[in-house]
Amino acid sequence: MDLTQRLEDRVAIITGGASGIGLATARRFAAEGALVVIADLDPATGEEAATEVGGVYRHVNVAEEASVNALFDGAFDQFGRLDIAFNNAGISPPDDDSIETTELPAWDRVQDVNLKSVYLCSRAALRHMVPQGRGSIINTASFVALLGSATSQISYTASKGGVLAMTRELGVQFARQGVRVNALCPGPVNTPLLQELFAKDPERAQRRLVHVPMGRFAQPEELAAAVAFLASDDASFITASTFTVDGGITSAYVTPL
């Protein structure tokens, strides 16, 4: 088996595909033979990413139903199939903090981008995958959906818990219709989002690193490899799963010295 072509001729949509885990996954998908649709809010970086991977760019606001429907329906109309949906777009703004200080507008914005978007994207993908009788949906949750943090991002944490619960239900509901739905739960990843946290609050970032048994943050490419596996037929008996790629953080009581 040629593992470099596991995704040959498959059509994949990646939200938040212009940077971080999304971009790394776009590169991995393309290397494995997929045609990649980069879906992002920023046309400049989106077009650049699409050109790099030989795919196409489509503008999307993942928090708006009409925009999400246009993305998925347009891609299906253009290519005649939809095999993979990596619902990855998300935000973690600084005004999402402790429940004592996070105001309702910040809460709502994070819920819209992180949770409502996964509902909208999953629904739009299923409209095409169910009639096909096949498809793989991967939703980006987080290790924070599995444990509590004393340095809270309350809306982010709640949104990722919602993504995880919704993914399990969809995975069960659509298993006999040929559509697999799994949740990726990354640990801290070396992305622009995390680098911004380092720049703004190094102490808070360091408090995260000290709890990772492997002693480092993940690289986006390591998460991309996990997503490519879940998207491929190598994961044909995996659905409704919590696929944790976290360097051991959710299993650690204490970490090595």
Q: Catalytic residues, which ones?
A: 156
Question: What is the CB neighbour count within 10 angstroms for residue 254?
Answer: 7
**Distance between CA 125 and CA 219 in Å, rounded?**
28
Two structure tokens written together for 203? 């102490």
**Closest by alpha carbon to 24, among 245, 233, 206?**
245
